[in-house]
Chains A and B, each alone.
Chain A
Amino acid sequence: MIRSLPNQPAYIAGYRLYIGLYFAFLFAPLLVTCVLAFNDSQFPALPWKGFTLEWFTGALPHRMGIFHDRVNLDSIWASVQVAFWVTLLSTAVGVCAAFLFEQEHFPLKGLLYFLMLAPLVIPGVILGISILLFANSLGLFVENRWGIDVGLLRPGFWLVVLGQFSFIATLVTLIVSARLRKFDRTLEEAAMNLGAGRLAAIWFITLRFLRPAIVGAAAVAFLMSFENFNTTLFLVGSETTLPINLYLQVRDGSTPVINAISFLLIVGTSTAAVANLYFSRRQV
């Protein structure tokens, strides 16, 4: 049954087979994608025609490697910029929200808390369209009223940032709140007793205590933003982010360049994820 109880060999063997199949299921698509990034073929498919790095470094017209592919590089850069701003905004607001919900008492707190959780259960697509429609209506209103055309309210970079921020801030809030809940308020009192003002106490004690959670939450925010598709789909302008750009390419046919990008992303994100896990475990 469990490791401390006697188990029949058949039970253990059967269980191991199941887990093996599960992990094969989990990793097969990722492995295949990565391996085919190095296949010397025009298509991301078998047969294996030999190892090549051309899908990374190639500069020929029919074999444009990712490092020379302007369109994809631009979309990666756009995604990085979006993710940067989303991380900055959602971390700042998420930390404020964690303090607000964990340490302050005010009327209608329950309602506000419910609203804060709402983005978790609103499908990303809905978040995207409602922000799109609202921004559009607001833009029309401002234009009719004052004759000002607010570019911010049209689909584009900042609307994508706001749309992703609207639900990623909730994730940050939850991660930081979980740590703040473990914080012993007497530490803040001790700091004040030793001569620190309230701000100094928060700065030197509380925020320092929260630092691992804040760093972790920021990493999560960056990754979530970098690969967001559903919300972004409706808010994106002419400057496409990487997931949107990849989607358009996958929909219209595929080349091993996509595998090359995927390989870089898989390696990059899993390294970041493992590092994040490692550091967050060590800091408990």
Chain B
Amino acid sequence: MPFALSVHGLTKKFGNFTAVENISFDVEDGKFFSILGPSGCGKTTLLRMIAGFYRQDGGTILFNGEDMSSVPPNRRPVNLVFQNLALFPMMNVFENVAFGLRRRGEKGSGVARKVNDMLERVGLPDSGEKQISQLSGGQKQRIAIARCLVLDPAVLLLDEPLGALDAKLREHMKVELKTLQANVGTTFVYITHDQSEAMVMSDTVAVMNKGTFEQTGSPQELYHRPRSSFVAQFVGNNNRFLIVPSRDDGGAPAGLYAGRFSFILDDACRSLQDGIPCEMFVRPEAMVIEPGSDTPGFNRMPVQVRAVLFDGGNSRLLVIPEGTEDEIVVMLPQTGLYDHIRAGDRIMVGWDPGISLCFAGNGGKPYDER
């Protein structure tokens, strides 16, 4: 069975700037595929090429195995939920949903039946007569999706459709979109810069940076086994240490941090070249506060608490490793065990070397979220 969407070697240039560079991927039928990347990474350009609004400078786009690289947007079996939704304000809900059907030449009761079925499926029956301006943010969302799904597209593209919603509604819509996709079984290709959206909803996530895919995999894979420094920083929160690899007395890999702490490194870091600075990542939840001094093979580091960031189940400590300026985030379990910790305290933190990750070179520059 052919893939719902297959992209091979897709490239797009604007003048000298290469917005999308030689991207290839396949999306299985019925899957939820996300493209995650910071703004300006080229994800919208990629999406517009798939939809047909941009002509690619190279590569092919196949829907269900059929090459549609040069088919105009209105003849592609793909529909797009726009970032601003682009619902037609001069039409009511029914006319919006019926628009595509009527453009296909469908008429009469068939249109009405399909539209009403679709409105029911997105949980908004009897809203056909409403004006777009009468809908809430979440309802508009659903109508924009219904308008596309009624055409039964091979692939539904979504361009950060949750961006305009407030935080609470966004959380709710994440779950709702996921359920909706599972129910209708249409292939979704979802674009976002919000890693949480991508993680919660997707079967597969592609992390995009500077016009190329850095890594494609399940959310779990991306989180636990990032293959690049960028993915490690972009997916989930991470603490970053600049270290210089060396060997300990027994010849096992070790890393010198800030010129004063020597960390035990994971076996996976064996390939690093001694003496050349590299990055090591440890997730906040992998950090242990006041680890027992009896655990062998554990990394330990004295730190000073700069701030206690209480946020319920997501509470953290902001700490400074002694003798450095770096800020490290440590998860603060709300078990009552650590309630005594105050800003200014000196404590120990530690982690199991097996869960740290190392990446060679990157010029030592952190990825800047802004």
| B337 within 8 A of partner (CB) | no
Residue A194, interface by CB 8 Å? yes
Cross-chain contact A192 with B73 (CB below 8 angstroms):
yes
Known A-B contacts A189-B73, A208-B90, A209-B90; the reply to A195 vs B103 at CB < 8 A is: yes
Q: Which of B48-97 contact A (CB under 8 A)?
A: 51-53, 72-75, 78-80, 82-84, 86-91
Please report the C-alpha to C-alpha distance between residue A196 and residue B80 in the assembled complex, in whole angstroms.
13
Q: Is the CB of A195 within 8 A of B88?
A: no
Interface residues of A (CB under 8 A from B): 184, 186-187, 189-197, 200, 204-205, 208-209, 211
How far does the alpha carbon of A253 sit from the alpha carbon of B151 in the complex, in Å? 72
B82 to A190, Cβ gap below 8 A? Answer: yes
Decide yes or no whether B148 CB sits under 8 A from chain A.
yes
Is B103 within 8 A of A194, CB to CB? yes
Do residues A186 and B148 form an inter-chain contact, with CB atoms below 8 A?
no
**Known: A186-B82, A193-B51, A194-B147. Contact between A200 and B73, CB under 8 A?**
no
CB–CB A186/B73 < 8 A: no
In the complex, the answer to whether A196 meets B86 with C-beta atoms within 8 Å is no
Given A190-B86, A204-B99, A195 and B151 touching (CB < 8 A)? yes
Known: A186-B82, A200-B103, A204-B99. A193 touches B88 (CB 8 A): no
Cβ of B86 and Cβ of A184 under 8 Å apart?
yes
A-B contact pairs, 21 of them (CB 8 A): A186-B84, A187-B86, A189-B53, A189-B86, A190-B86, A190-B87, A191-B88, A191-B103, A192-B73, A193-B53, A194-B103, A194-B147, A194-B148, A194-B151, A195-B100, A195-B103, A196-B99, A196-B100, A197-B74, A205-B90, A208-B90
| Chain A residue, CB-CB nearest to B144 | A190
Bound CA span A211–B89, Å: 13
Report how far A136 CA is from B34 CA in the complex, Å. 69
Q: In the complex the two chains form, what is the Cα distance from A208 to B87 in whole Å? A: 14
- Chain A residues within 8 Å of B151, by CB: 194-195
Check B370 for interface membership: any CB of A closer than 8 A.
no
**Can you add 15 more A-B contacts, CB < 8 Å, to A186-B83, A196-B100?**
A184-B84, A187-B88, A189-B73, A189-B82, A192-B74, A193-B78, A194-B79, A194-B147, A194-B148, A195-B100, A195-B151, A196-B74, A196-B103, A208-B90, A209-B89
Contact A186 B86 (CB under 8 A): yes
Tell me whether B104 and A195 are in contact (CB under 8 A): yes
Once the chains are docked, how many angstroms separate the CA of A184 from the CA of B83? 12
| A194 contacts B100, C-beta separation under 8 Å | yes
Q: Please report which residues of chain B, range 283-326, place their CB below 8 angstroms from some CB of chain A when the two chains form the complex.
A: none
Closest chain A CB from B96 CB (angstroms): 9
Closest residue of chain A to B75 (Cβ to Cβ) is A195
Please give me the residue from chain B that is nearest to A205 by CB atom: B88
Q: Which residues of A contact B104 (CB under 8 A)?
A: 195
Instruction: Give Cα A200 to B73, complex, Å.
Output: 13
A33 to B108, CA, bound (A): 57
Give the top 8 A-B pairs by smallest Cβ distance, nearest first.
Answer: A194-B100, A190-B86, A195-B103, A186-B86, A192-B74, A196-B103, A208-B90, A193-B80
Across-interface contacts of A186 in B (CB, < 8 A) = 82-84, 86
Q: Name which residue of chain B comes closest to A191, CB basis.
A: B99
Interchain CB contact under 8 A, B90 and A194: no
Residues in B with CB closer than 8 Å to A205 are: 88, 90
